[in-house]
Structure 1
Amino acid sequence: MAEVKLVIRVYFVDDSFKTLAVNSNISAKDLAMNVVAEKIELQQKETFALFYYKNGECRCLDDDEQPCKLMVHETVGSDADFQKYIGEKMEWEKLKKEWEKDSKIVFKRRVFLKHKAIPREQDKFLHYSYIQAVADVRDGTYPCSQSAAIELAGLQMQVTFGDHNKKVHVAGFLKDKIGRFIPAPLLQSNRKLDDWEKDIFNEHARITGIKKEDAMLHYLNHVRNWSFYGSTFWSVQTVNKDTANLPDQVVLAVNSNGIQLLKLGTKEPILTQRYADIYSWAYKRNAFAFVSGVLSKQKFQFATPHGKDIARTLQAYVEILLEERKKDGRIN
């Protein structure tokens, strides 16, 4: 019997998407690496993965998860008859319409190696890294000062519109677009649109002549200097706050350096544990813990429903960093 094909949408962080006909039992890894990456002609695909978004929350899909089954079970229920939807086109279309009200599958970077520069000639990798950085700045995932936001907005204007044109880029030009260029938290201030536009246009005019790809690189190089660039963040509850000397709630970040514990809201660093200093980690349904220290070990325990995702993200970084060391000849 021929494998049934289902039509699904896979989104990117800028809300663009590809419509794909895929095998009903395709795995998340196969869909990401062998379908989406090929469709968008992305060669440097190892650091990308598929994420499940629902109502502003997201998690990375396990390699062996089946996105089509996920769509059915999350929309109808875990006891739904999957065969009903793969056998009837109308049923699948109805389910997709319901699914898309609050859910989507997103293809984006999962792992960021801060020590590795992004080559200009890798245009696809550059593009998808850039749009993800813009999204993380825009929604406040990366805290950003007003001056940095204006500098980044100028670069984004150059990427989006080309050189500054004083006949086109006039007062009111960004009226319906300002949220695409300035981080949401900064827009909550009482600063007027005219003031934002004036500063952004001045910055945009200052960099006239910069090519689109170079503007993308400048943008990425700016945010790559931030300590939390490329981090995945989870708000967690500290269980052993007295022995760990931590606040009740912290933001736990995982990146290419290791684990960072940050202040809730501001994301100011409290503690950084590099991979070389992390002895072990473990998770269960509503908890995550790690042990650090070489000579004297200390345990950090947190209550969180995201323990599995934290552990899997750590493992993804370790595997890629080890692979990098093998390529460099630092380990056999």
Structure 2
Amino acid sequence: MLRGGSQRPINVRVVTMDCELEFAVLPATTGKQLFDQVVKTIGLREVWYFGLQYIDSKGLVTWLKMNKKVTAQDVRKETPLQFKFRAKFFPEDVSDELIQEITQRLFFLQVKEAILTEEYYCPPETSVLLASYAVQAKYGDYNPDVHKPGFLGHERLLPSRVLEQHRLSRAQWEERITNWYAEHRGMLREDAILEYLKIAQDLEMYGVNYFEIKNKKGTRLWLGVDALGLNVYEFEDRLTPKIGFPWSEIRNISFNDKKFIIKPNDKKAPDFVFYVSRLRINKRILALCMGNHELYLRRRRSDTIEVQQMKAQAREEKALRHAERAHLAREKQARMDAERKRAELEKRVKEYEAEARRAMQALAQSEKTARDLEEKMKRVEAEAAERERLRLEAERLKRQAEESIAQMRSSQTASEEEKRMILARTREAEEKAKQLEAEAAKRERDAEDLQAALMAAKKQQVEDAKALVNATSTDKFHLMEANMNPDAMQHSQELGRPASDAGSSSSSSGVGAGVGVGVGAGVSGGTEVRRGVYTAGVQAGPTDLSAGDGKGGPSWEVGDRDAIAMKNDRIRQQLESLGAELDAAMDPEKVSAFDKLHRLNKSQGRNKFKTLQRIRAGNTRQRILDFESM
């Protein structure tokens, strides 16, 4: 115990689930003043769930009392004084009761830590599902281009027990987590945190504080204190409660030294009495019972103005976040569509450019062909002139031959030798004339063919020129230019705006009007007090506190509630499939006692809420007698 003999400030360090805070407090500072300073610093308003933990001089975890000075409590002497800011009480249903994002995040981190350190037992397949929500909460939507194999290599996502029990590599575990993670696409990080908690609250050990007790027979048992009431467990099985007492059945709680007495509303029933090994354990049990019972009543009354304001603000902020996310999604889709159109248009431009190049090449080839044909045509025309000259020469020779024949016929005196020479020259001239005529006819046909080819080449040249004009026409590019114009693309100025800007000042301002539960308020006088009493604010006789004043309160009862994961058939089937797969990969020699108990409960169709319904059946008297006989 610390004694503040002077007014010199004392250094205090408070560790929350995601940050460390340091304060300098006066020796007269009470637990509540320190607590209020912490919640004001972190912007928390749902203060009734939380408390400050410390390690006392005997090495035991203890909750700081709000109504006593910090220095007057049994805090281990060190500099600075060490405290942990943790959830002391848990809601019945996280989706209905946790309002602020910071509250949800603190619960998420604490529950996640409890699962990873195996304070809460979690089946292997459920561990994988929860890990996928934790990844969604940290990384956002799955992107295969960013979240490549190995990106979870340094993350702590599964309990060590699960990793050691199964013959699977880290890559195989990552693959199974990523398969589920990919299905959460589009889920907000805040929603992923809430989904994690909704599944985690269905775990049997979630939110339960266990204390070792004995009944009058001396049988070692466990007492579980949680948001719904008190449960009794066999010493070897902390998963399955055997007897339960809801808060609505409890009228008075007290202890005398190591004896703890619970008086039920049913006055015909005997007192529920058990024993603990240390007095301080009874004090802790009483403080937890008081706080949980107060919250139980609070849930069944109308919300205070402060809570109504917080819920309204939370709804507005959530609607704003969803609207901003929808806006961002539309912006993202618009950008993707614009990029897709740009890519398509760029592809079309490249196609048009290729088409234009081909048209230009074809036109150049056509022009070259036309030039070649024109040169050939010139040669043909020259040859035609030569043919005309040869034809005229042939005609001249023919006339000369005819004249020679005529002379020969008219001259009777010509010798035979001269006649033969004249005839030979005549035949030679005729043959040469025939050859010239045949060659002229052939060249005429070649000229006609060449003329036809030249006409076809000119026609092709005209068509290629038209194709080039068509390929390079501006009509094909006006749509592309309109779409690729930066002025035509919408850019929202709000795209880079943080989702938490709106309403951030109001969500972090102020602290709730006092702590909802006076921790340790029922025990006065410090460690010297060996008795404590807490009486529920109800009338004599059986009273159903679950009804309250008929206003507010949870919208479900234990008997009607199913596990969240079981409500979704697809998730249930996937869990069963993954469970069978992991069972096949489990090392039989490493199966834990909790694994065996979980399998037994599962094979008998039991879950947390069906078990609670069963153990609270019957009258209070019979359940107390059953407890005494354990």
Shift of 1:115: 4.5
2:156 is the counterpart of 1:152: no
2:76 is the counterpart of 1:74: yes
Q: Percent identity?
A: 21
What does residue 122 of structure 1 align with?
Answer: 100
Per the alignment, do residues 286 and 161 of structure 1 end up closer, same or farther by CA in structure 2, a change over 3 Å counting? farther
What does residue 49 of structure 2 align with?
Answer: 47
CA distance in 2, matches of 1:172, 1:287: 55
Shift of 1:281: 3.0
Per the alignment, do residues 228 and 313 of structure 1 end up closer, same or farther by CA in structure 2, a change over 3 Å counting? same
Alpha carbons 1:120, 1:213 under 8 Å: kept: no
What does residue 199 of structure 2 align with?
Answer: 222
The higher radius of gyration belongs to: 2
What does residue 138 of structure 1 align with?
Answer: 116
Higher helix proportion, which one? 2
The DSSP-based 3-state class of the residue aligned with 1:117 is: helix
2:166 is the counterpart of 1:183: no
Shift of 1:185: 3.6
Per the alignment, do residues 63 and 215 of structure 1 end up closer, same or farther by CA in structure 2, a change over 3 Å counting? same
Alpha carbons 2:30, 2:67 under 8 Å: kept: yes
The DSSP-based 3-state class of the residue aligned with 2:200 is: helix
Q: 1:12 aligns with which of 6, 9, 16?
A: 16
Alpha carbons 1:152, 1:219 under 8 Å: kept: yes
Shift of 1:282: 2.8
Alpha carbons 2:254, 2:261 under 8 Å: kept: yes
Shift of 1:318: 2.0
Cα deviation, 1:220-266, whole Å, max 9, x if unaligned, reads: 111233455322222x0424247xxxxx4333221121101234454
The DSSP-based 3-state class of the residue aligned with 1:301 is: strand
What does residue 311 of structure 1 align with?
Answer: 286
What does residue 81 of structure 1 align with?
Answer: none
Per the alignment, do residues 172 and 120 of structure 1 end up closer, same or farther by CA in structure 2, a change over 3 Å counting? same
Amino acid at match of 1:13: M
Shift of 1:114: 0.6
Q: 2:250 aligns with which of 263, 266, 278?
A: 278
Cα RMSD over matched residues?
A: 3.1
The DSSP-based 3-state class of the residue aligned with 1:46 is: helix
**Structure 1 length normalisation: TM-score?**
0.77
Higher strand proportion, which one? 1
Alpha carbons 1:288, 1:304 under 8 Å: kept: no
CA distance in 1, matches of 2:30, 2:102: 23
Per the alignment, do residues 13 and 116 of structure 1 end up closer, same or farther by CA in structure 2, a change over 3 Å counting? closer
What does residue 36 of structure 1 align with?
Answer: 38
Per the alignment, do residues 269 and 31 of structure 1 end up closer, same or farther by CA in structure 2, a change over 3 Å counting? same
The DSSP-based 3-state class of the residue aligned with 2:283 is: helix
Per the alignment, do residues 298 and 203 of structure 1 end up closer, same or farther by CA in structure 2, a change over 3 Å counting? same
CA distance in 2, matches of 1:53, 1:191: 39
What does residue 92 of structure 1 align with?
Answer: none
2:227 is the counterpart of 1:256: yes
The DSSP-based 3-state class of the residue aligned with 1:262 is: strand
- Stretches of structure 2 that go unaligned for 5 or more consecutive residues are 1-5, 304-547, 552-630
Amino acid at match of 2:38: V
What does residue 405 of structure 2 align with?
Answer: none
What does residue 330 of structure 1 align with?
Answer: 549
The DSSP-based 3-state class of the residue aligned with 2:110 is: helix
Amino acid at match of 2:223: L
Amino acid at match of 2:287: R
Amino acid at match of 1:96: T
- Stretches of structure 1 that go unaligned for 5 or more consecutive residues are 76-94, 243-247
Q: Which moved more, 1:320-329 or 1:213-222?
A: 320-329
Amino acid at match of 1:128: L
Shift of 1:199: 1.3
Amino acid at match of 1:254: V
CA distance in 2, matches of 1:127, 1:117: 13
Per the alignment, do residues 120 and 250 of structure 1 end up closer, same or farther by CA in structure 2, a change over 3 Å counting? closer
